[in-house]
């Protein structure tokens, strides 16, 4: 990651190259100086066999592409994880904000469900943690609002909340990059 940029938000569709770009930023960060570290804060949860396999595959691939990057799993308390792990010589990669929002809206325990106001407050707390982080950050999220208006109240609510979260994170980060077909388009900040 370019040391002149403290925070970058990378968003795009599925398989657009978002995670690969974030991993490359971490690899470059660690290669730049022996004292640099990188921590991946993973938000995905293994709800079923396919997701367990997907997570295991991502872990193996990431270990090969970015040796030495530590992985921390945090599906819900993301702002706390940033406060805990951020340091001037530690780059934090968060992958991904879309799964984090899903975890807030559809928790493992039905009695932990947050209402819309609490989800919005969690997003605002995350943006404050991003702004206050002493070290560099790369956050990954999906852009899903480019299609037709979805049918169903819950899906529309999710799209609306993700759009709101993406806007908050984009406003907070110094650089925002949209990925499409593995190619970056810088929307905010320098290349």
36 within 8 A of 91, measured Cβ to Cβ: yes
Residue-level length of the chain: 191
The active-site residue, picked from 5, 24, 55, 58, is 58
How would you label 25-60 residue by residue, b for 16+ Cβ within 10 Å and e otherwise? Answer: bbbbbbeeeeebbbbbbbbbbeeeeeeeeeeeebee
Is 58 considered catalytic here? Answer: yes
Of 126, 95, 122, the C-alpha closest to 107 is 122
Active site residues per annotation: 58
């Amino acid at each position: 990651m370019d040391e002149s940029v403290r925070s970058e938000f990378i968003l795009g569709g599925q398989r657009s190259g978002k995670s690969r770009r974030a991993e490359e930023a971490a690899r470059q960060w660690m290669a730049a100086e022996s004292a640099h570290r990188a921590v991946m804060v993973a938000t995905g949860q293994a709800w079923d066999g396919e997701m367990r396999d997907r997570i295991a595959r991502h872990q193996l691939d990431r270990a090969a592409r970015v040796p030495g990057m530590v992985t921390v799993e945090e599906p819900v308390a993301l702002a706390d994880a940033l406060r805990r792990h951020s340091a001037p010589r530690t780059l934090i990669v968060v992958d991904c904000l879309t799964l984090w929002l899903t975890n807030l809206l559809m928790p493992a325990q039905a009695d932990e469900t947050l209402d819309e106001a609490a989800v919005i407050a969690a997003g605002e707390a995350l943006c404050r943690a991003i702004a206050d982080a002493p070290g560099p950050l790369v956050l990954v999220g999906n852009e899903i609002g480019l299609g037709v208006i979805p049918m169903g109240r819950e899906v529309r609510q999710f799209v609306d909340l993700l759009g709101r979260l993406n806007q908050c994170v984009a406003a907070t980060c110094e650089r925002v990059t949209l990925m499409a077909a593995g190619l970056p388009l810088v929307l905010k900040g320098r290349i």
